[in-house]
Chain A
Amino acid sequence: DTGVSQNPRHKITKRGQNVTFRCDPISEHNRLYWYRQTLGQGPEFLTYFQNEAQLEKSRLLSDRFSAERPKGSFSTLEIQRTEQGDSAMYLCASSVTGSNQPQHFGDGTRLSIL
C-alpha cells in the first residue's frame, strides 16, 4: 500500500494559464474524490468518481474545472484560465465502497496564481 500520490506538490502559474494535476489512488480503491482547501478552512468537495464514472460534481466546480478518470485508475483535474481565487490546496482522496470506509488522502497539490 503506497498511499495516494499527487503530482505536482506545488504549482505556480500566471493568471489565465491552464494547469493540470494528477492523482494516483490506492490501487484497489474504486472511489476517488477531489477537494479544494483554502487556508483556515476544511476541505470542500469538488467531484467524485466511482471507477471511471464521474457521479457527482459540486456547484463549486465551475465550467473552467474538469476532471477525468479515464480507466478507473489515476485521475486528472484541469483548471482552465486560472484566476486568483483558484489559489488553494487541491486534495485527492480514495476509498473502497462501504459506508464506514474512510477516505485516504494524498499530500495535495498547492496551487499559487501570480
Chain B
Amino acid sequence: AQKITQTQPGMFVQEKEAVTLDCTYDTSDPSYGLFWYKQPSSGEMIFLIYQGSYDQQNATEGRYSLNFQKARKSANLVISASQLGDSAMYFCAMREGFYGNQFYFGTGTSLTVIP
C-alpha cells in the first residue's frame, strides 16, 4: 500500500483565490510527521509546513495551512490568496515513527495559478 497518496495530478486556481491540495497517508505508527514541499520548475525542493501526529492544532505558516484530519488520515494543504509564483509541483511527505529515518513522498500535484 502507498504510504502517501495524492490524487490530484493537476490543479488550476485563479490568482488571489484559495486552493486545497489533497493528501492521505497510511501508517499504523501513532507517532509520525507530515510535511509539504514545493518544487518549482527550477527543481529545488522547498519546505513549506509541518504537522506532527500529536499536534492538537492545525499548522499554519503564512499563506499555508494544513487541514489535519487524523481519523481520516488526511493532511490537506490550503494555500490562501494564490499568487502566480505558487505555480509549482507540491509534494506531501511523511516521516514514520518518532525516530523514523525515511521520508515517504507522494506523486505530487501540479498547481497552476491563472492570472
On A, residues with C-beta under 8 Å from B are 31, 33, 40-45, 48, 50, 55-56, 58, 89, 91, 93, 99-100, 102-108
In the complex, the answer to whether A100 meets B107 with C-beta atoms within 8 Å is no
With A99-B33, A99-B98 as known contacts, state yes or no: A42 contacts B105, CB within 8 Å: yes
In the complex, the answer to whether B44 meets A100 with C-beta atoms within 8 Å is no
With A105-B45, A108-B43 as known contacts, state yes or no: A100 contacts B105, CB within 8 Å: no
Please provide the 3 A-B residue pairs with the shortest distance between their CB atoms, ordered closest to farther.
A42-B105, A105-B45, A102-B47
Chain B residues with CB under 8 Å of A102's CB are: 35, 47, 50
21 residue pairs A–B, Cβ–Cβ below 8 Å:
A31-B101, A40-B108, A42-B91, A42-B93, A42-B107, A43-B91, A43-B105, A48-B102, A50-B101, A55-B101, A56-B102, A99-B31, A99-B98, A99-B99, A102-B47, A103-B35, A105-B37, A105-B44, A105-B45, A106-B44, A107-B42
B87-115, CB < 8 A from A: 91, 93, 95, 98-108
CA distance A91 to B43 in the complex (A): 10
In the complex, the answer to whether B102 meets A93 with C-beta atoms within 8 Å is no
With most chain B CB atoms within 10 A of its CB, the pick from A43, A58, A93, A106 is: A43
CA distance A48 to B37 in the complex (A): 19
